[in-house]
Amino acid sequence: MSRCQQVGRPILRSLQQSVSSRPCSAALFSTTTTRLEDVVADTTSAASSESAPPPPPSGKPTDEEWRQRRLDPNTTTLRWAEKKLIKAGTPPVGSRRRRVAIRTSENIPFEQLPYQAFQEARKILQEDRQEKLDKIVAATARLRFLKQTDPKTLQGGEAMKARRIDSARKYLDELKIQADINDPLVKRRFEDGLGDMSKPIYRHLADRRWRAMDRKIIAQRISQFFIVPDLLPKFEPTADVKLFFRGEKVSPGEILDSRITEVPPSLRVQVFDKGERLLSVAVVDADVPNTENDSFDRRCHFLAANIPWDPTKNSLPLSRVAAAGGDVAVPWLPPFSQKGAPYHRLAIFVLEHKERVDPERLKKLYGGRDGFALASLRNATQAAPVGFNMFRTVWDEGTAAVMERHAIPGAEVEFKREKYESLKPHRKARGWEAKRQGPKYKFLEKYTKRIA
C-alpha cells in the first residue's frame, strides 16, 4: 500500500460509511445509486433518466433482477442493454470506459473526493462563483432600478433607457454563464448529454460546441452551394438543424436516393437563445429546370408554420408537425430530379416568428408550390431564417417509381445538352478520301466510306 493510500484510507472509510448509511432502498441492488441520485438531484429535467431503471418488483427471480441492474444507463456496458436503452429513449450515459469506471469504483460523491489539491481547487472555484453570484444580485438590482427610472430624467430619453436596460440584461446573462462555467459538475452533466437547456450555461456550452464544427460545415455548404445569393441575399444561421431520413443522420449536402427521401425527414432543431417562439419549416428545391425560358425555378416541397418551440425541445419529425402543435400549409412532396438534369439542391430552412401565421393564407400563397420564394415567405410572415440544412437529389433508378406513386408528372422527360452550331463557316471536305467519294470510285468504298 502506498503512502498516500495509507493516508487516505480512514477518510475513505468514513465517507463510505456515511454514504451507505443513507436511507436509500435502491442501494441494495445498484452499486451506483449515489451517483445516480446526485445526477438526478442536480438536474430538473432528469426525470427520464430517473425512470430508466425501473425498480425490480420483489418476488421475481434473481435473473430478472440482474437484468434490471444491467439496464442502468449509468453503468451498463452490455450491447443488448445499450440497444434496449437507446430504444427506450434513455441512452447510456457517457463512454463505456466511463461506465465501467463508475461501476467498479467506490461510491464517493464527486464533490467529496478525498484529494487535497482537488478540494483546494474546488474551494477557489466556489469563492469565484460566490463572487459572481454577488455580482448577479447587484446586476439584478440595477436592472430593476433601470426599469423604474423615468426616461425624462435621462439625456437620450426612451431610446437611451431601452439601450441601458438591454446592456444591463446582457451583462446579467453573461454573469449567469460565468458563475457556472467553471463548475466541473456542470461540465460533466453537459458532456453526458444531461444538460438542462432551459439554463443559460448549458445553452452557452451547446452553442459553443455547435459553433466549433457543425456550424462551420453548414456555413460552408451555404456558400459552396450558393444558397446565399440564390435563395437569400444574406443569412447567418443561429440554430442547429440536423437532418434525419428514416432514422439515419444525413450529412449536409449529401446526394440521397429518391426512395429514401420519399418520406418526410425528421429534424433536430436546437435553438440557443432563451424563450418561447414559433418556428416555420420550409423545404425548397432551388434547381427546378424550366425549358420555356431556359432557366431554373424554385419549388416548395414542404411548408409548416406555428410550431411552438423552446431550447428544451429538440426533435421535430416533419411527418408529425401537427402533433407538435404546428400547422402544415404545404404537405411533403418527395424530391425528384428528371433524368439528365443537374442535381437539385433541397434547402431546409427553419424560420422563427413571434406571432401566429394563418395557415390558410400560406396555403393560398404557396399551395401551388411553383415559383416559391423564401424572401416572399419572410415578408408575408415576418419570420427570420435561423436554421439551415440541405441535401441533394439526382435521377436514380427509383425516381420513376416514386414519381408514379405520388402522381408527379414528368418522369418521361429526359434532358440533353443543348447543341451549338459552330461559328466557323462550313468548309468542303478535303483530302484523298473526299476526292474519291463519287460513283467512279465505287471499288474503293472499303477505304473511302469513313470520312471525318
Partner 1 sequence: MQLISLRRPMQAAALNSCRPQAASPAFLSELVSLLRLDVGHSSSGISGRRWAAVKSQGAYKLKNKKTIPKKLGAKRTGDQYVIPGNILYKQRGTIWHAGENAILGRDHTIHAAVAGYVKYYRDPARHPTRQYIGVTFRKEDKLPYPPNAPRVRRLGMVSVTRKTEDTAPPVLSSSGIPLKVVRKAVVPEAKAAATPTESAATPETAAVADVKAVKRTQRQTAKKRKAELAALRAAQRKIQKETRVLHLQSDYSYREHNWEIGRLVGGAGRVQGAGRTQSRRAMLRVRRRKKQIVFGTRKAEARRRRERRLEVMKRAAEKKAKKAAEVEKMAAKEKGKGKGQQKTTTAA
Q: Does 339 bind partner 1 (CB under 8 A)?
A: yes
In this chain, which stretch among 51-59, 131-139, 361-369, 409-417 interacts with partner 1, using CB under 8 A?
409-417
Q: Does 324 bind partner 1 (CB under 8 A)?
A: no
For the bound state, the minimum distance from the C-beta of residue 292 to partner 1, rounded and expressed in Å, comes to 10
Which of 36/282 has CB closer to partner 1?
Answer: 282
Which of 152/424 has CB closer to partner 1?
Answer: 424
Chain positions 178 to 197 lying near partner 1, rule: CB under 8 A, are: none
For the bound state, the minimum distance from the C-beta of residue 380 to partner 1, rounded and expressed in Å, comes to 19
For the bound state, the minimum distance from the C-beta of residue 117 to partner 1, rounded and expressed in Å, comes to 39
Which of 356/405 has CB closer to partner 1?
Answer: 405
Which of 206/341 has CB closer to partner 1?
Answer: 341
Amino acid identity at 118: F
For the bound state, the minimum distance from the C-beta of residue 234 to partner 1, rounded and expressed in Å, comes to 6
The owner of cell 429513449 is 89
Task: Candidates 157, 184, 193, 340: give the one binding partner 1 (CB under 8 A).
Answer: 340
Task: Candidates 3, 416, 427, 446: give the one binding partner 1 (CB under 8 A).
Answer: 416
User: CA-CA distance, 71 to 343, in Å (whole number)?
Assistant: 46
- The set of long-range contacts for 180-185, using a CB threshold of 8 Å and a minimum separation of 24, is 180/129, 182/125, 182/128, 182/129, 183/125, 183/129, 184/110, 184/125, 185/42, 185/110, 185/111
Burial of 374 (0-12, 13-18, 19+ CB in 10 A): buried
Structural contact between residues 260 and 336, judged by C-beta atoms closer than 8 angstroms: no
For the bound state, the minimum distance from the C-beta of residue 402 to partner 1, rounded and expressed in Å, comes to 12
Task: Candidates 259, 274, 277, 436: give the one binding partner 1 (CB under 8 A).
Answer: 259
Q: What is the DSSP letter of 343?
A: P
The alpha carbon torsion through 204, 210, 212, 216 (nearest 10 deg) reads: -140
Structural contact between residues 232 and 374, judged by C-beta atoms closer than 8 angstroms: yes
Instruction: Provide CB contacts within 8 A for 120, sequence distance 6+.
Output: none
Q: Does 439 bind partner 1 (CB under 8 A)?
A: no
Q: Does 233 bind partner 1 (CB under 8 A)?
A: yes
Which of 220/290 has CB closer to partner 1?
Answer: 290
Site pattern 272..311 for partner 1 (x: CB under 8 A): -----------------xxx--xxx---------------
Q: Does 158 bind partner 1 (CB under 8 A)?
A: no
Q: Does 248 bind partner 1 (CB under 8 A)?
A: yes
* Residue among 308, 315, 321, 323 at smallest CA distance from 277: 308
Residue 50 sits at the vertex; the CA angle it makes with 196 and 25, to the nearest 5 degrees, is: 140
* Sheet with strand 384-393: strands edge to edge: 255-256, 384-393, 344-353, 277-290, 295-309, 327-330
Binding site for partner 1 (CB under 8 A): 226, 228-231, 233-234, 246, 248, 257, 259-260, 289-291, 294-296, 338-341, 398, 411-418, 420-423
